[in-house]
Amino acid sequence: MGKRVGIIGYGLLGSYLARKLNSEKELDIAFVYDVDRSKLKDLEPSLVIKSLAEAPSRRPDLVVEMVNSEWVSENAAFVLEFSDLLVASVSAFADEKLKGKLDSVAALNRKRYYISHGAIAGLDGIRDGKEIIKEVKILTIRPEHGYFDLKNLIKKDVKERTVIYEGPVRKACRLFPKNVNLFATVAIHSLGFDQTQCAIIVDPEIDIIKHLIEVKGLGLRWKIEVQAIPVGDRKKIYVPESFFQTVKRICSEKYGEVLI
């Protein structure tokens, strides 16, 4: 029997992860949970749990969260009582108290929680240069229809290229928690939520999402560009595949080469 993986949230990431896990000999699905039970109707009934309270009895080795920052704030500590945890909704860590709470519970129960790298190429370099980096800026340009939280701030359609936010990542996480997990991930691995700066632009003339990460420091200057380009009827391909590969690395028990 392979490592057992619990899936929380059955949207784009969760459904992709479940399909890939079904093809892996060394990994098993411990359970799948989503508050919207209608999403789970095509799954084997034995895999579905009706409430999070059932999760410990399924004995997962790793629980993968793919819901939202509110779920992480409310439930991550409970999960760490019985399982390791992989967090996708990284914007939750804009709450200054959350990390300390999870560190304490994890240490008490000898568990680990992992922060998803968000499919950001070059994040390892940013993390390794953390002590000598002086400035980090992130610019995101995206179409209006791709911005889940936009209507919370702007009550009318955007007719032209518009800057809707500019400032520290912490405030962006409060305003746009569903959309700035990439910002939060970069902040965690570099200068933190208050010192990492970001800007969000909505452009009705484009149909893809673009991210530009600029890093300056002692002896270094980097520009990392990330584009999410639809393939066929799928809005994202690399992000869910990257997430699945992360799960495989966490759960691997093989000896030999390990990429870190």
pLDDT at 120 over 60: yes
pLDDT of res. 234: 54
Encode burial over 135-174: b for 16+ CB neighbours within 10 A, e otherwise: ebebbbbbebeebeebeeeeeeebeeeeebbeebbbbbbe
Please give the span between the terminal C-alpha atoms of the chain, in angstroms, as a whole number.
26
pLDDT of res. 155: 47
Beta bridge partners of 86: 64, 114
pLDDT-wise least confident of 41-55, 100-114, 215-229:
215-229
CA-based nearest residue to 213, from 137, 142, 125:
137
Q: Tens digit of pLDDT for each residue in 147-171?
A: 555 555 554 567 788 898 999 999 9
Q: Which residues make Cβ contacts (< 8 Å) with residue 251, sequence separation at least 6? A: 2, 3, 5, 26, 27, 61, 62
**Model pTM score:** 0.89
Please check whether the domain covering 123-228 is classified as CATH 3.40.50.300.
Answer: no
CATH architecture group of domain 3-115+237-251: 3-Layer(aba) Sandwich (3.40)
User: What's the burial of 68, exposed, middle or buried (CB within 10 Å: 0-12/13-18/19+)?
Assistant: middle
Read off the pLDDT band of 178 (50, 70, 90): confident
**Where are the CATH 3.30.360.10 domain residues in the chain?**
123-228
Q: Hey, what amino acid is at 56?
A: P
**Where are the CATH 3.40.50.720 domain residues in the chain?**
3-115+237-251
